[in-house]
Structure 1
Amino acid sequence: MKTEKNKNILIDEIVAELSNGGVCILPTDTYYSLSVVADKPSAINNLFEIKERDLSKPVPILISSLLDIKKYCDISSEPLQKLANSFWPGPLTIVLPLINDFPKEINNGSGFLGVRVPDHSFTQKIIESLGKPITGTSANISNVAPTKDINEIKQTFNKKVSIIADIDCGPENLSSTVIKIDNNKSGIDILREGPVSLEKIKKVINL
Structure 2
Amino acid sequence: MSERILPASDANSWGPAIDEAVAAVSRGALVVLPTDTVYGIGADAFTPPAVQALLDAKGRGRQMPPPVLIPDVRTLDGLATDVSDDVRALASTFWPGGLTLIVRAQPSLAWDLGETNGTVALRVPDHPTALALLRRTGPMAVSSANRTGSPAAVTAQDAFDQLGTSVAVYLDGGDAPGQVASTIVDATTGTLRLVRAGAISLEQLAEVAPVEAPGPQGEPGP
Q: TM-score, normalised by structure 1?
A: 0.90
For residue 5 of structure 1, report the CA deviation from its aligned partner.
4.3
Partners of 1:60 and 1:206 lie apart in 2 by 23
Going from structure 1 to structure 2, the CA distance change for 1:128 and 1:137 (only over 3 Å counts) comes to same
Is 1:60 aligned with 2:67? yes
Is 1:171 aligned with 2:177? yes
Residue 70 of structure 1 aligns to a residue whose secondary structure is helix
Going from structure 1 to structure 2, the CA distance change for 1:102 and 1:108 (only over 3 Å counts) comes to farther
Which residue type is aligned with residue 158 of structure 2? E
Residue 159 of structure 1 aligns to a residue whose secondary structure is helix
Which residue type is aligned with residue 48 of structure 1? L
Ranges in structure 2 where 5+ consecutive residues have no aligned partner: 1-6, 212-222
The percentage of aligned residue pairs carrying the same residue is 26
Q: How does 1:1-207 map to 2 (within 5 A)?
A: 3-74=10-81, 76-102=83-109, 105-130=112-137, 132-182=138-188, 184-185=189-190, 187-206=191-210
For residue 144 of structure 1, report the CA deviation from its aligned partner.
1.1
For residue 104 of structure 1, report the CA deviation from its aligned partner.
5.9
Which residue type is aligned with residue 191 of structure 1? V
Q: Is the 8 A contact 1:73 1:98 kept in 2?
A: yes
Which residue type is aligned with residue 90 of structure 2? L
Q: Is the 8 A contact 1:120 1:170 kept in 2?
A: no
What's the CA shift string for 1:39-97, capped at 9, x where partnerless?
10000011111110021112100001232242331264211111112111001000001
Q: Which has the higher strand share?
A: 2
Ranges in structure 1 where 5+ consecutive residues have no aligned partner: none
What's the CA shift string for 1:15-51, capped at 9, x where partnerless?
1110110100000001111000101000001111111
Q: CA RMSD in A?
A: 1.9
Partners of 1:101 and 1:79 lie apart in 2 by 24
For residue 175 of structure 1, report the CA deviation from its aligned partner.
0.6
For residue 155 of structure 1, report the CA deviation from its aligned partner.
1.9
For residue 6 of structure 1, report the CA deviation from its aligned partner.
3.0
What's the CA shift string for 1:93-127, capped at 9, x where partnerless?
00001232445631414111000000011111111
Q: Is the 8 A contact 2:183 2:199 kept in 1?
A: yes
Partners of 1:41 and 1:178 lie apart in 2 by 24
Q: TM-score, normalised by structure 2?
A: 0.85
For residue 10 of structure 1, report the CA deviation from its aligned partner.
0.8
